[in-house]
Structure 1
Amino acid sequence: MAETLDIDKLEREVKAVYRDVARTPNEEFHFEMGRPLAEQLGYSPADLDRIPDEAIDSFAGVGYHFDLANCQDGDDVLDLGSGSGMDVFVAALHVGNTGSVTGLDMTNEQLEKARGLRDEAGLENVSFERGHIEDLPFEDETFDIVVSNGVINLSPKKERVFEEASRVLKPGGRVALSDIISETEMPDSIKTNADLWAACIGGAEQINEYTSMIETAGFDVVEVRENPQYEFTSNQAQNACQKYGVKSISLGAHSSQ
């Protein structure tokens, strides 16, 4: 009988990692974090200067995609796996008072931190909701843009994530995301290891499969670019990078409706 991924264990492990990211961002993790990482990936220092420092401290993204998102005044934006809120706060800078930004996360500690930072900053057009990216607690055609950073690789149901993103987007809406993918298919011994999934390796989908899932969900992929400035820090991850071409990409897609 083939090994299978223990999805409950995966969720527990992912929550444990990102609970620590929220509470103790200065600890050592299997990924880089904070403002140096954000600037290295391409975030504007001017934008970072305008958002809460504590959100930046817990930032654990893998790329930059706000140029692909092209947020405008009045846009309604959804961030899948919003963590401590850095990308939500960046998006809020660009949608103005007439737009809105909603962050979705499943980790209570991240939500608590993000909501506290939002309240301190007095951002009335920002909200953080609890939920899973495979089962979005939102009505159809609610958002203009869906963004996500280093999170979809953690989902064992990626097709469902993209279907749900398509459902909650308005006609002509767009997706802009950064994520971890692989050049070649990884063996089941890696793909069924919850520890390696929580380390952002085991769930890395082969890139052609990844873009195919997005297209099947109703999107036209308009740009895919690699992020060579993103580097894994653990030996396990570096080995996977060399052996299977595990890497960070940023991707932009438009709804084909």
Structure 2
Amino acid sequence: MANTLDVEKLERAVKNVYRDVAEAPTGEYHFEMGRPLAERLGYPADDLDRIPAEALESFAGVGYHFDLADIGEGDDVLDLGSGSGTDAFVAALRVGESGSVTGLDMTDEQLEKARGLRDEAGMDAVSFEAGYIEELPFEDGTFDVVISNGVINLSPEKTRVFEEANRVLASGGRLAVSDIISEKQMPESIKTDADLWAACIGGAEQIDRYTTLIEAAGFEVTDVRENTTYEFISDQAANACQKYGVKSVSLSAHK
């Protein structure tokens, strides 16, 4: 029988992992989490001091792309797969009172945590909505910037993700993401393993195909850089990284 990816099983596995990330950030995962990771990836300490510490505990990003996003006062920003809110809160520091930040996530526990932290911090410019990055519940041209951190690799429909990001961006809008990619094609045994997808490995696209998908959705890719300070921490994940060139990149694109 041919290997195929069970999309429903994948969704359950991803939700289970990121429920645990929200509720038990000190647990054991394939990937590193927390403020030390954020600082090593390039997040300014001044920004991290100004956002909820509990959001940072569950930070599981793979890169830093706020310099590429060039978020300014008054911008409306969408964060795809916002988790416990670290990137949404950092974005809120940049948009000011005249802008807005919307986080979108499919995991109830992450949304509950992020909304609670938002309320405690009084960050009224930030909202967190339930939904899927392949089917965005927003009107065309709603946002100036779309960001995402370590999430798009988890989607089995990356073409749809980039098409939807393009749709909800205003003319001249910007896309800035950090994600996990691979240098070599991975075997079906990895690409159809729901647990390895949830660990951000199984769904890693080859970098040339990844940028091709972005361009096919109507974007012009402007920057691509490797995040050499990011690494997986489990033996299983590290082996895949070594064998297939799985690594983190940050990139930007314009509509």
AA aligned to 2:195 is D
Summarize the alignment of residues 139-218 of structure 1 with structure 2, pairs less than 5 Å apart: 139-218=139-218
Residue type of the alignment partner of 1:62: V
Deviation at 1:189, TM superposition (A): 1.2
Structure 1 residue ranges, 4+ long, deviating more than 3 angstroms after superposition: none
Q: Percent identity?
A: 75
Shift of 1:199: 1.0
> Which secondary structure state, in structure 2, belongs to the residue aligned with residue 145 of structure 1?
strand
Q: Supply the AA of the counterpart residue of 2:25.
A: P
- TM-score (structure 2 length as normaliser): 0.99
Give the aligned partner of residue 252 of structure 2.
252
Please give the per-residue CA displacement for 1:127-185, whole angstroms capped at 9, x wherever unaligned.
00000000000000000000000000000000000000000000000100000000011
- Distance across 2 between alignment mates of 1:47 and 1:76: 19
Aligned length: 255
Per the TM alignment, residue 28 of structure 1 is displaced from its structure 2 partner at its CA by: 1.5
* Secondary structure class of the residue paired with 1:120: helix
SS in 2 for 1:89: helix
What CA distance in whole angstroms lies between the structure 1 residues aligned with 2:58 and 2:243?
29
Matched with 2:60 is: 60
Q: How does 1:1-257 map to 2 (within 5 A)?
A: 1-255=1-255
Shift, 1:242, TM fit:
1.1
Alignment-mate amino acid for residue 87 of structure 2: D
Deviation at 1:2, TM superposition (A): 2.5
* Structure 1 residue identity aligned to 2:55: A
For the aligned residues, what is the CA RMSD?
Answer: 0.6
Q: Which runs of 5+ in 2 are unaligned?
A: none
Structure 1 residue 125: deviation in Å? 1.1
- After superposition, what is the alpha-carbon deviation per residue over 1:180-229, rounded to whole angstroms, capped at 9, x for unaligned? 00001111111111111111110000000000000000000000000010
CA–CA distance in structure 2, aligned partners of residues 178 and 140 of structure 1: 23
State the alpha-carbon separation in 1 of the partners of residues 153 and 236 from structure 2: 16
The amino acid of 2:47's aligned partner reads D
